[in-house]
């Protein structure tokens, strides 16, 4: 019998949707989910997702070509809806025969989903509420990802535990993947038992051996405890700021100063809400790059989820997957014994 037969059986349908061996998505991480990490993920049997961040169409095409030269397995591309080059990015994915596009940072409209489908690509997206999720599926969305506030990077205000009950358990006819605070195989198996199509993990792969993130970045994450991964507070309701979870350092303090500056400019009509938000976005992207590429762990952004508290060592992607599958299979065996006792 094949190793990990039970958990493999539970993943079968989703693996067909993804074209992978395991229903584990490597959540896109700006500056980190590049060709090396993403190809290594897909080669290991999971589903890698390339981050396009603030790229334009040509840059993305190059990164896709590079990734395709390192793997012939499927991988997805994460597109940020507020990127002004979004249409070019979709064309780039279509021309490069990408199979799955993962839309983040907003709610895609029907027209956008139609455009993605016209290239034969599947569209995945996030939604913060059941009504929005249902509308997205009515508009043709292929799969939903619910991401709880425990996750790293840009997060919503609601925990994975509540999103599961508010959204996922009320959707049975479409695939729903779960993200945010998941690492152990027992939890992965529990999500599948509850009806999830699979799980998306981010932080653990930022610290994987194959991740190109700077050693300082990885060490800071591996040393941190869960309570260190905070979302800086919003200064004023008039100027809503997307919460971004990162380990507290000088960079998170500087974000507060930046927020004050943007708020002042907004109140003096020097910038619009959109411009102000965009400048805060650029602040995060730049700060993340400094930490990931230059190893500046003092003033760069150490974006990571609360799961850092559980993460203790740098492992290879193969090891990470194998541990999850082993823990999941043992857990399913234990459940079977308990029920049949």
Please, which residue, 153 or 198, has the CB nearer to ligand FMN?
153
Contact 14, 42 (CB under 8 A): no
User: Got the DSSP string for 288-299?
Assistant: HHHHHHH--TTT
Residue from the set 206, 287, 317, 320 that interacts with ligand FMN by CB under 6 A: 206
Residues 6+ apart with CB under 8 A from 126: 103, 104, 144, 145, 146, 147
Please, which residue, 88 or 261, has the CB nearer to ligand FMN?
88
Q: Is 30 in the site for ligand FMN (CB under 6 A)?
A: yes
CB of 229 to ligand FMN, least distance (A): 9
Structure tokens at 113: 């989903």
- Distance, in Å, from the CA atom of 178 to the CA atom of 163, rounded to the nearest integer, reads 9
Please, which residue, 54 or 326, has the CB nearer to ligand FMN?
54
Site string for ligand FMN, 179-198 (x = CB under 6 A): xxx-----------------
Count how many Cα atoms sit within 13 Å of the Cα of residue 269 in the half-sphere of its side chain.
0
Residue from the set 108, 175, 198, 305 that interacts with ligand FMN by CB under 6 A: 305
Residue from the set 20, 67, 78, 249 that interacts with ligand FMN by CB under 6 A: 78
CB of 270 to ligand FMN, least distance (A): 28
94-153: which residues touch ligand FMN (CB under 6 A)?
104, 147, 150-153
List 325's β-bridge partners, or say none.
none
Please, which residue, 77 or 262, has the CB nearer to ligand FMN?
77
Crossing angle of helices 5-18 and 185-194, rounded to 10°: 70
Contact 76, 100 (CB under 8 A): yes
Element (H, E) at 229: strand 229-230
Please, which residue, 259 or 304, has the CB nearer to ligand FMN?
304
3-state DSSP assignment of residue 252: helix
Residue 218's Cβ-count burial label (10 Å; 0-12, 13-18, 19+) is buried
Q: Is 27 in the site for ligand FMN (CB under 6 A)?
A: yes
Residue from the set 48, 53, 76, 300 that interacts with ligand FMN by CB under 6 A: 53
Residue from the set 14, 35, 203, 259 that interacts with ligand FMN by CB under 6 A: 203
Please, which residue, 147 or 296, has the CB nearer to ligand FMN?
147
Q: Is 303 in the site for ligand FMN (CB under 6 A)?
A: yes
Residues 6+ apart with CB under 8 A from 158: 128, 148, 149, 166
Structure tokens at 79: 């597109």
Structure tokens at 62: 């190059």
Total binding residues toward ligand FMN, as defined by CB under 6 A: 26
Please, which residue, 124 or 331, has the CB nearer to ligand FMN?
124
Residue from the set 17, 18, 28, 332 that interacts with ligand FMN by CB under 6 A: 28
CB of 190 to ligand FMN, least distance (A): 15
- Distance, in Å, from the CA atom of 33 to the CA atom of 68, rounded to the nearest integer, reads 14
Q: What are phi and psi of 240, to 5 degrees?
A: -65, 130
Enumerate binding residues for ligand FMN (CB under 6 A). 27-30, 32, 51, 53, 78, 104, 147, 150-153, 179-181, 200-203, 206, 303-305, 307
């Amino acid at each position: 019998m094949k190793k990990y037969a039970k958990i493999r059986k539970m993943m079968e349908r989703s693996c067909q949707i993804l074209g992978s061996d395991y229903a584990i998505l490597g959540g896109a991480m700006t500056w980190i989910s590049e060709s090396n990490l993403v190809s290594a993920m897909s080669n290991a049997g999971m589903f890698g997702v390339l981050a396009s961040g603030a790229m334009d169409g040509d840059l993305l095409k190059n990164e896709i070509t590079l990734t395709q030269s390192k793997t012939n397995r499927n991988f997805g591309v994460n597109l940020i809806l507020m990127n002004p080059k979004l249409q070019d990015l979709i064309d780039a994915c279509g021309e490069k025969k990408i199979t799955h596009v993962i839309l983040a940072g907003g709610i895609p409209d029907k027209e956008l989903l139609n455009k993605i489908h016209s290239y034969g690509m599947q569209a995945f997206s996030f939604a913060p509420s059941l009504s929005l999720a249902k509308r997205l599926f009515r508009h043709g969305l292929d799969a939903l990802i619910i991401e709880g506030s425990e996750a790293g990077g840009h997060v919503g205000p609601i925990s994975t535990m509540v999103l599961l009950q508010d959204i996922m358990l009320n959707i049975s006819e479409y695939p729903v993947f779960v993200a945010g605070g998941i690492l152990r195989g027992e939890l992965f198996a529990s999500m599948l038992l509850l009806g999830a199509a699979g799980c998306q993990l981010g932080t653990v792969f930022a610290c994987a051996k194959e991740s190109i993130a700077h050693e300082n970045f990885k060490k800071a994450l591996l040393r941190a405890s869960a309570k260190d991964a905070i979302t800086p507070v919003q200064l004023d309701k008039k100027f809503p700021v997307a919460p971004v979870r990162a380990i507290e350092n000088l960079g998170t303090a500087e974000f507060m100063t930046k927020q004050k500056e943007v708020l002042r400019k907004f109140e003096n009509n020097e910038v619009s809400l959109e411009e102000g938000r965009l400048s805060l976005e650029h602040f995060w992207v730049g700060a993340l790059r400094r930490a990931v590429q230059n190893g500046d762990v003092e003033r760069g952004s150490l974006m990571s989820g609360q799961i850092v508290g559980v993460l203790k060592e740098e492992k290879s992607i193969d090891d990470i997957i194998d541990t999850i599958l082993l823990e999941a299979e043992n857990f399913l065996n234990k459940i079977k014994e308990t029920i049949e006792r």
